[in-house]
Amino acid sequence: MSSAKRLFLYGVAIINLGIFAGGAGTLLRLVFDIVFRSDNWRDYSQMQLSAGLAMLIIGGSLWFFFRYLIRRATAGNPLETGSVIRKLSLNLILTVSALNGLSSLATLIRSVFSWDSLGGALSSALATLVVTACLWLYHSRIENREGQPSPAARTLRRWYLYILAGFGLVMLAVNSVTLINDSFLALPIWGSYTIESGNWSVIAGSPLSRMVVGGFAWWYFWFKLANNDAASTLRQVYLYLPAVTGSVVTGLVAVSLTLYRILGFAFQHPAEAGFRFLCWTIPTVLTAAGIWIYHRKTIDEEAGRQTPDRHSPRRVYYYLMSFIGLGTMLTGIVYLFGLLLGLIIDSVSSRMVFDAGWWTGQLSLTLALLLTGAPVWIYFWRKVVSSTSEGGVSERSTTSRRVFLYSVLGIGIIAAVTSLIIIIGQIVNGILQGTFESGTLQSIIWGLAVLFSAIPTLFYHWKLLREDQNLGAEKSIRRKHVVILAGESAGRLTGQIEQKLGYRTRKLWLTGEAPEVLPDWSEEQLEALISQISEAEGSDVFLDLTGETPRLLPYRED
């Protein structure tokens, strides 16, 4: 079957499945409204009932027809069963149905806590849950029966698992913080800011139900289904970026706000509602810390089962956190320069330029940004410097480092040029109008602050870039098309070869009787093999790792 035909069949089948599911959900909601004796069923018009029946009959008929065509094409045909389009459609249906089903389950559980307040939401949630559960169970059975016969199929399966695991973790974490925040705000210690507790089931019902559903989803998709996937790159991406980086950023935001509000209170900056913000910032910090500790521990435990090419997610994590820390710290430095320049202008001006006490809020924000951004940048930049020293030119030539350096330089140049335009424009305007005084200086404070911060940043990172270029990090690599034949046990060795080459290879995994496990190669042996590949005749090279010694065979395609 051609790819165009596959795309047509699966695309039309998914659309009609959605219509069929929508019609079934509409009719089920009406049935449940009648069963639960809700008054909402009276609001159903004949048009809604007719539309539900039409969607059910027409969408269902077309879906069954295209499903029949697909089943006939895939019967006894492993190529069709493992096609990317089929696996994409299956995992897409599983993901969407699971997300909708989990949300409906949370609403359904909430109805147990507050039956009267939801009205027809119970019937709607139950109808959606029944439909999505049927869809998920049916397609999950198909996916489990067929398995994942190709690398693309396994990758799509992993996307499905980690999207649902991340969804469950976020739902669990966010609603844990919400529950603690609402609980503390209901205490009679906040004076006029205390929220009305009312019925406890109303306050706790929504976050508690979502905590239960989120915890279940995270347990099922992370611990049960994705437990034996430690060697995959996508798992490392999930661990380092959404889980670890997300928790660090969330915790830093909460810490920054806490410091800002506490410092503002210390500098007698008006606090609108005292320390009510602690009801959510402290739980947020503790929750983010727990998520970070768990996933860092998971990364350390699984480190031994990873091949060398799995370092890329960790490298992205280091540079991303360095970028976030640097940006936060520089923002604090800009505010610091603005504060100092403002104080100087205010002290030498003959009239009041700023409002009284203006500096307290700015000083609080400056210290909060510096106290959070500087430690983050120092910690992660030391990690980057250490890995660069160990990795040499190959580490300096990585895409993550190139993107980081050029991004910082690009943003720095734009900021410096913009600030110069503002400064020169305001000065010239003041001279031409003959009003060059404290008001003109006040208008260029932030331009000067940005310029003073951008210049040393540009100098430092430009120096790093020139060092990399002088060491040959940006020299074009003459890439060859390398095909490696190896057993599954040689995965670590193939990863080391790719790391030394600086680009990916095509790998063929030997089936049947597995060859003997190759011993760990020394650095000298790897360098010698890379030299042989580079010096081999032509641009196509076949590397056989199934014997006692590797065989390198240059070849050409007709």
pLDDT at 47: 72
Shared domain for 448 and 492, answered yes or no, is: no
pLDDT at 311: 60
Q: For the whole model, what pTM was predicted? A: 0.79
Domain-ending residue, one of 229, 245, 280: 229
The tens digit of pLDDT for each residue in 97-125 reads 999 999 999 988 887 766 545 556 778 88
111: its two tokens: 């109805």
CATH code of the domain in which 499 resides: 3.40.120
Q: Would 257 be classed as within a structural domain?
A: no
Domain-ending residue, one of 440, 470, 500: 470
**Which of 82-86, 125-129, 147-151, 331-335 is predicted with the least confidence, judged by mean pLDDT?**
147-151
Shared domain for 104 and 220, answered yes or no, is: yes
Total domains in the chain come to 3
Task: Give the sign of the dihedral formed by CA 121, CA 124, CA 127, CA 133.
Answer: negative
Shared domain for 52 and 166, answered yes or no, is: yes
The tens digit of pLDDT for each residue in 219-243 reads 999 999 988 887 788 888 898 888 9
Shared domain for 494 and 435, answered yes or no, is: no
Q: Please, how many CA atoms are within 13 Å of residue 87, restricted to the half-sphere of its CB?
A: 24
Task: Give the sign of the dihedral formed by CA 463, CA 464, CA 469, CA 475.
Answer: negative
pLDDT at 546: 79
Strand bridging mode 540-544 / 551-555: antiparallel
Q: Would 265 be classed as within a structural domain?
A: no
| Number of residues written out for the chain | 558
Shared domain for 510 and 448, answered yes or no, is: no
* pLDDT bucket at 513, cuts 50 / 70 / 90: low
Element housing 77 (H / E): none
Shared domain for 407 and 488, answered yes or no, is: no
Q: Would 79 be classed as within a structural domain?
A: yes
Three-state helix/strand/coil letters over 446-494: HHHHHHHHHHHHHHHHHHHHHHHHHCCCCCCCCCCEEEEEECHHHHHHH
Shared domain for 463 and 490, answered yes or no, is: no
Tell me how far apart the alpha carbons of residues 507 and 488 are, in angstroms, rounded to a whole number.
10
Host domain of residue 446: 314-356+368-470
The tens digit of pLDDT for each residue in 8-48 reads 999 999 999 999 999 999 888 888 877 766 555 555 656 77
Shared domain for 39 and 184, answered yes or no, is: yes
The tens digit of pLDDT for each residue in 414-425 reads 999 999 998 888
